[in-house]
Structure formats: C-alpha cells, structure tokens
Amino acid sequence: MRNFVAGGLSAAAALLAGASAQAAQPAEWEMNFQPAATDIMHQITWFEHYTLWFIVPITLLVLFLLAYCIIKFRASVNPVASRTSHNTLIEVIWTVGPVLVLLFMAVPSFQLLTAQYSPPEEAKLTVKATANQWNWDYEYQTEDLLSFNSAVLTDADRAGLGKEDTGVYPRLLAVDNEMVVPVNTMVRVLVTASDVIHAFAMPAFGLKTDAVPGRTNETWFKVEKEGIYYGQCSELCGKDHAYMPIAIRVVSQAQYDTWFAAAKADLPGANKALMAEIGSSNKVAVAGK
C-alpha cells in the first residue's frame, strides 16, 4: 500500500513538473481561457467572468419571455389577437435596463482597454517580430543584435532538436527556435510583416496584435511564471496559415543571460543547453517534491 501511495505521489509530482514545463497550450474540450500568465490576462479573465453575470441572466430572461409569449398568446388560446400598440412602463424598462447594463459593462471594459495600451513600466527588452508566409523572424534589439527564424517543428526534426516529447512540444504548435525571454521582465514586441497581414497572438498573455506590411505595431507583456507558451498567427494569411505557430520560452534571468550569450555564436547549441538545464531543474523539483 505504501509503495502504491508513494508511486502515486511521484507520478503526481512528475505531472506537475511536466505541466510547469509545458505551461499553457490549447486543451481538448477547453471551455475557459488558458491559465493566465500575465496581469493583463488576469484582468481579461476577470472581465469575462464579470460579463457572464449579465449575459446569463439576460439570456435566461429572454428565453423565458419567448416561451411565455409562445404559450400564453398562441392562436388556440387567443383566437382574437390583441390590438395593444404600446406600453409606457415596458418601454421605459427596456430602454433604461439595457443602458444600465451597458454602463456597468463599459466602465471596466474601458479600464481594461486602457491597461492594455499603458505599460506600467519601461521595457527592459525589445524584440522585433516579423511575420512571413509562414514563419517568424525575431530580432533582439540589444547592443549585440541577435536574430533568428522560428518555424513550425517537423516530425523529422524532433529527434535532432531533442523535442520528441509531444506533451511539452505539441504537434503544429512547437517550433524549431522559441523566442526566449526572462520571467518578470517587461518585454516590448515590435510586430510587423514582410508580405501579407498576419497577427501575433499569445492567449496566455492576453496578447493579439496585427502584423501589417510597412507598419510596425507595438505590444508588450510581463510573464509571471516560467515555461513554454504557445500561440498562433491569428489572421488568415494563406494556405499554410494553420502551420505558423508562436512559441515563447520564459526562463529565469540567469538562464536567459547564459542563453543569450551563447546564442549569438551558436543558437542550436544554446537552445539545447537551455533545455538540458531546464530538464535537470524539473528532475530536482520532482525528487525534492
């Protein structure tokens, strides 16, 4: 019995470690948003729950009124139709009621919109994301410029890149080279495109910005926890639109500094070293519970 319990605890710990490694990605039959990884996404999640307190009662009320009218005023019960043309009280209610509802929804909506366009602090890192059909170019706007391409991970490349675990690197979402950023750091993203209109979207960050040729749009995020986060191009951009994922790996500041220093000379080697360090850290976490 003890062995069974110990085995169960170990499996649970491994599952938690794996979950922290893969972070947020789409799940089957998912009805809610992905777990929030930024303050903006927490606000979006709150606003969604808040609006449901209005949407659900209104939907049920309309359904009740429709059913009531269908049953009470059916032809078999009322062979002579009512000639009522208006009712002042009802007209006041259905005018004032929606105005109040819209007011209660508009105020937090404008507050959220303002927060999305008002970073609370200056960015410590700027990355330019250029969309192509059908991949992304990332340029780190630092003194020592680092740039690389990020494309969907093919099955043939999994073994060579050490990304055979489809739980952490899911099909059609994983990429060959992730954008790497430090945790709890304000990151500015300059979004543009080289050909047609795309969109840079990361659900766990509450982030979606159009990538328009000839124009640079600016967005930002500050991630609260480490892990890999997956998004996709969210603007129809051609035949391979569904094969244009976005992957952002969030690591500690020390891990980021080490990766960045190595990536300038050897990006594949830096990625493998970072993955090995993260893997060893997860094993230590599981062993130590």
Q: Locate the domains of the chain by residue range.
A: 39-75+86-116, 125-288
Contact (CB, 8 A) for 210 and 235: yes
Contact 34, 45 (CB under 8 A): no
- Using alpha carbons, list the distances in angstroms from residue 171 to 26, 162, 174, 224: 11, 14, 6, 25
Q: What is the pLDDT of residue 139?
A: 97
The pLDDT of residue 281: 64
Give pLDDT, residue 86. Answer: 83
Q: Distance (Å, rounded) from C-alpha 251 to C-alpha 253?
A: 7
Q: Could you tell me which of 276, 243, 242 has the C-alpha nearest to residue 161?
A: 276
pLDDT, position 27? 80
Tokens 């507050």 correspond to 111
Q: What is the pLDDT of residue 14?
A: 37
Measured CA distances, 211 to 93, 127, 196, 199 (Å)? 44, 14, 8, 5
Beta-strand relationship, 217-221 and 187-193: antiparallel
| pLDDT of the residue at 50 | 96
- In the chain, at which residue ranges do the beta strands (DSSP E only) sit? 125-132, 135-140, 146-150, 179-182, 187-193, 198-202, 207-211, 217-221, 227-233, 245-251
Please tell me the predicted confidence (pLDDT) of residue 287.
42
Classify 86 as helix, strand or coil. Answer: coil
Strands annotated E in 54-144: 125-132, 135-140
Question: Averaged in consecutive runs of 10 residues, what is the pLDDT profile of the chain (289 residues)?
Answer: 39 38 71 91 96 95 94 85 84 92 95 93 96 96 92 93 91 95 96 96 95 96 94 94 96 95 93 89 47
Say which residues have a Cβ less than 8 Å from residue 224's Cβ, sequence separation at least 6: 37, 38, 39, 183, 184
Q: Quick one: pLDDT at residue 77?
A: 84
Q: Contact 270/256 with Cβ under 8 angstroms?
A: no
According to CATH, what is the number of the domain 125-288? Answer: 2.60.40.420
| Predicted pLDDT of residue 2 | 40
Token look-up 């990361």 returns 202
